[in-house]
Amino acid sequence: MNKDLESIVLTKEQIKEKVTAAAKWLDGKYGSCENPPLFISVLKGSVMFFCDLVREMQTPVQIDFMTVSSYGSNSESSGMPKIVMDLAAPVKDRDVVLVEDIVDSGYTLQRMRDLISGRGAKSFTVVALFDKPARRKVDIKADYNCFEIEDEFIVGYGLDYAQQYRNLPYVGILKREIYEKK
């Protein structure tokens, strides 16, 4: 285990189980759709989850990416998520599936929902790896959550603190001293 972590929340094996279950749920929902749904990865945090998830699915999908930044290098959301890189393709009349790493305050999800619905998507579904309901500031939630966590700051498998720890193959709780010393 990385020395900056307090404990492991999800091992590599547990992540695989969660991904398989989410892929199954999505295949059930979109397997008989006429047109392939558009899967959007909210970068950078969801990238590992996104790649594993779409590869585990049987249903043909299309993919796109959007970079959203809410944190700077803090562990608290600024409340004003910024679109750093927009989608390449239009979402009008598409079945959109947004893939998020974690829903925390909910500001990012709210922003994405308003944006994508505003552009005329036919449907909007959200799949999140983690849900942290204790920290919610807006009344919004994912349609499918893989795992619910307490109010702890987690890193790994795409999730960062100040852009670090994203490439850990597991998810763990970051020691408080790492982010409280700043």
Residues contributing to the site for ligand IMP (CB under 6 A):
45, 70, 77, 81, 100-109, 132, 153-155, 159-160
Question: What residue is closest to Mg ion based on CB?
Answer: 45
Please, what is the minimum distance in Å from the beta carbon of residue 46 to ligand IMP? 7
**Does 104 participate in catalysis according to the annotation?**
yes
Residues that bind Mg ion (CB under 5 A): 45, 160
Taking the least distance from each CB to ligand IMP, the nearer of 23 and 103 is 103
Q: Which does 100 bind (CB under 5 to 8 A by kind): ligand IMP, Mg ion, none?
A: ligand IMP
Query: What gap in Å lies between CA 148 and CA 64, rounded to an integer?
Result: 26
Please, what is the minimum distance in Å from the beta carbon of residue 38 to ligand IMP? 19
Please, what is the minimum distance in Å from the beta carbon of residue 161 to Mg ion? 8
Sequence-distant contacts of 68-73: CB under 8 A, at least 24 apart: 68/42, 68/43, 68/108, 68/111, 68/112, 70/107, 70/108, 73/162, 73/163, 73/182
Find all residues with CB under 8 Å of 94, minimum gap 6, and list them.
35, 37, 38, 121, 122
What separation in angstroms does the CA of 69 have from each of 6, 40, 104? 26, 15, 13
Active-site entry in 104, 143, 151, 160? 104
Q: Which residues are identified as catalytic?
A: 104
